[in-house]
């Protein structure tokens, strides 16, 4: 993980500790897998992108849960998350006689891979049962593009993405004084991550996370 990203995450959590008694319900970490895709579209060749597949990466986060209320609370989080996609494109075959294409295509497969600093602000609606709780999270999300592992194909991506996150989860503190849980999330973008006269791309992802808090 980028060292600067880790330092920012740590500062966010430890800076919050002195005011926990007044406002913070819990602090903790989340970690797991992301399954990301990018919706690529070609403006002049609708069949150019033949196949888009999920790319597996990692998602690591610190979180603070605010307002110790029985039903509704607020989650602030900062994630290091890997996104991208696996793709297959159809490149038109051209000749001198057919400069616009012969009607045949050459299929090429590849993968894009990029790292983001993701900052969601989520409402958490919780339902308590005996020994554990189930909950729903939903809210806006801002992603900052921090690292490109693919080369020039991602150089024109926007530094900031805006999207949303919705998810479900469960947690328990009956095992010990710590909180243990798990979440499943869907995180679509509301804007294109790349927009040119020729092609657009939009990030989307799903996350499966384990939760440890106190």
Residue 101 belongs to a domain: no
Residue 179 belongs to a domain: yes
Q: What is the mean pLDDT of residues 129-135?
A: 89
Question: How remote is the C-alpha of 129 from its chain's centroid?
Answer: 29
Nearest CA among 56, 110, 59 for reference residue 86: 110
Residue 108 belongs to a domain: no
Query: Quick check: helix, strand or coil at residue 209?
Result: strand
Q: What residues contact residue 94 under an 8 Å CB cut-off, 6+ apart? A: 100, 101, 102
Residue 173 belongs to a domain: yes
Residue 192 belongs to a domain: yes
Residue 106 belongs to a domain: no
Mind listing the pLDDT tens digit for each residue in 45-92? 665 566 677 889 999 999 999 987 778 999 999 999 999 888 676 666
Residue 171 belongs to a domain: yes
| Chain mean pLDDT for the chain | 83
Q: What is the mean pLDDT of residues 25-44?
A: 88
Q: What residues contact residue 97 under an 8 Å CB cut-off, 6+ apart? A: none
With a cut of 90, say whether residue 126 has pLDDT above it: yes
Rounded to whole angstroms, how far apart are CA atoms 187 and 137? 11
Structural domain range at position 144: 3-36+61-83+113-213
Q: Which two tokens mark 69?
A: 């209320």
Residue 181 — pLDDT band, cuts 50, 70, 90? very high
- The secondary structure element, H or E, covering residue 7 is helix 3-16
Q: What is the domain count for the chain?
A: 1
Task: Please say whether the beta carbons of 5 and 117 come within 8 A.
Answer: yes
Is pTM beyond 0.85? Reply is no
Residue 99 belongs to a domain: no
Q: What is the mean pLDDT of residues 122-139?
A: 93
CATH code of the domain containing 9: 2.40.160.20
Q: Give, as one character, the DSSP assignment of residue 197.
A: S
């Amino acid at each position: 993980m980028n060292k600067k990203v880790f330092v920012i995450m740590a500062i966010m959590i430890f800076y919050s500790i002195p005011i926990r008694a007044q406002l913070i319900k819990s602090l903790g970490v989340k970690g797991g897998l992301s399954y990301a895709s990018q919706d690529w579209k070609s403006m002049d060749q609708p069949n150019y992108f033949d196949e888009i597949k999920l790319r597996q990466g990692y998602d690591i986060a610190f979180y603070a849960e605010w307002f110790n209320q029985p039903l509704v609370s607020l989650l602030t989080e900062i994630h290091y998350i890997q996104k991208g996609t696996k793709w297959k494109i159809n490149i038109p075959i051209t000749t001198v006689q057919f400069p616009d294409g012969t009607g045949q295509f050459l299929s090429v497969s590849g993968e894009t891979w990029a790292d983001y600093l993701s900052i969601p602000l989520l409402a958490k609606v919780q339902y308590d049962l005996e020994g554990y709780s189930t909950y729903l999270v939903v809210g806006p999300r801002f992603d900052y593009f921090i690292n490109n592992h693919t080369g020039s194909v991602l150089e024109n991506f926007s530094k900031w993405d805006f999207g949303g996150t919705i998810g479900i989860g469960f947690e328990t503190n009956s095992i010990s004084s710590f909180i243990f849980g798990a979440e499943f999330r869907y995180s679509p973008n509301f804007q294109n991550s790349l927009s040119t006269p020729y092609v657009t791309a939009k990030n989307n992802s799903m996350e499966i996370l384990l939760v440890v808090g106190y």
